Structure 1
């Protein structure tokens, strides 16, 4: 069985329903994982997605912010969620496909503006969230699993437009990168995207503040697709759909894709 999966921080699924439908119609991934849906589950516009062949969904939502959803052409079973760091936020949901693959969809806290938990509570919450992810994967080692989502960290030097200038900017600080690596090590996760695209600058997010994001190209790779060792070699054809950042009323994130032959 071959299936293609995409992950996209949509920054309001109701506001951006038209471009979600555009992606589904034009790219046709078998599974689309969305973050920052900003919607209660019962308000997600499932009818439009169903008409495009996406008749299955597992989701967690809340009004106005956060929220994660997995849309699927394939039957998918809801296998729960975790409230890491006890924030009470809809930031994780997991679904299992009929082939036994579990998909974890995450929206890790952004962490605020200052990379110092003593003066910025949100940064502390981000680190605590990652620590609890690490502990969970260490105690319950995942198998035949894929982890996707907006993890709000660009770990490699070539995952940001300027390593030197972003070292003290939230999303690329050494302490965040170390925490992310700890999560990866605990679950033995492989970075599917970078396995397929090992060299060169690669971004999935460009700020709304940039007057011309495409020309300035001051991006960061905040969105990830990982896989456990037992299926990582089945992954291929990773790509970032950069063009989606330029669609009408876009998210500031672009979708990331990978295909798995299982």
Structure 2
């Protein structure tokens, strides 16, 4: 068995101490980070190594984007893809010794206006998702897990107010449809919602909410999916809501799942 966590850290160098705290307190076997905002060679791995996380596969760039997989288990680099030809570090994959392939994604946020004609960033987001759909349709995933900040809250109970967010980027119908097409193409199983099928569930709270606890205007943007052949091995999903209250936090919190593989 192994446990995976995914967390948009919003600068791994700025929040290395929070990463180390999570590794100490929760001890996932694998931690996937997004929005690292660092070249790979400047990721502060010394503290992670000291805690037993001696393996890392990452893609980075200065100041923006960036994805990393930290592991206590041996992993090998399984490559990356430049989805939507953006030239961004938004995907990396690793292979475990048991053959499971783990993909770590940071899907574009898409800007503020849900209209690709006036907001090119929204178009890039949709194109990124379309390419993901095509890749998984052409190569049916087997013994695979995909995690990351998908920047989409697909279900009505994945947001604080379905009606009020229908025209807000991350919950618009067209984004939800595109993500559903990605999921259908790979027959992916949403492990979090397999384990927690009902009720409001969030992994992100805006910095703009001064009292995020009281307002609780959250969205579930961070996901763990598994290919159908191993989905039944996934269990123990949890969202670490208290992490949003740590000092100097990311606006996202870690999402966990375990796999009996």
TM-score, normalised to structure 2's length? 1.00
Q: Distance in 2 between matches of 1:58 and 1:211?
A: 35
Q: Distance in 2 between matches of 1:213 and 1:57?
A: 33
Aligned to 2:30: 31
Q: Distance in 1 between matches of 2:228 and 2:69?
A: 23
Aligned to 2:260: 261
Gaps of 5+ in 2: none
Aligned to 1:40: 39
Query: CA offsets, 1:28-52, max 9 Å, x none?
Result: 0000000000000000001100000
Aligned to 1:74: 73
Q: Distance in 2 between matches of 1:46 and 1:211?
A: 32
Shift of 1:147: 0.3
Aligned to 1:61: 60
Aligned to 1:197: 196
Q: Distance in 2 between matches of 1:34 and 1:101?
A: 18
Q: Distance in 2 between matches of 1:214 and 1:15?
A: 23
Shift of 1:140: 1.1
Asked whether 1:145 is paired with 2:144, we answer yes
Superposition misfits of 4+ residues, deviation over 3 angstroms: none
Aligned to 2:5: 6
Gaps of 5+ in 1: none
Query: CA offsets, 1:102-125, max 9 Å, x none?
Result: 000000000000000000000000
Q: Distance in 2 between matches of 1:96 and 1:53?
A: 18
Tell me the C-alpha RMSD between the 2 structures.
0.3
Shift of 1:215: 1.1
Query: CA offsets, 1:119-165, max 9 Å, x none?
Result: 00000000000000000111111100000000000000000000000
Q: Distance in 2 between matches of 1:62 and 1:48?
A: 21
Aligned to 2:247: 248
Aligned to 1:132: 131
Q: Distance in 2 between matches of 1:53 and 1:192?
A: 26
Q: Distance in 2 between matches of 1:99 and 1:245?
A: 33
Q: Distance in 1 between matches of 2:200 and 2:80?
A: 33
Query: CA offsets, 1:184-203, max 9 Å, x none?
Result: 01111000000000000000
Q: Distance in 1 between matches of 2:209 and 2:173?
A: 25
Q: Distance in 1 between matches of 2:87 and 2:170?
A: 22
Query: CA offsets, 1:11-44, max 9 Å, x none?
Result: 0000000000000000000000000000000000
DSSP-derived class of the 1:106 partner: strand
Aligned to 2:50: 51
Q: Distance in 2 between matches of 1:211 and 1:73?
A: 36
Q: Distance in 2 between matches of 1:45 and 1:230?
A: 36
Aligned to 1:116: 115
Asked whether 1:168 is paired with 2:156, we answer no
Aligned to 1:107: 106
Shift of 1:251: 0.1
Aligned to 1:18: 17
TM-score, normalised to structure 1's length? 0.99
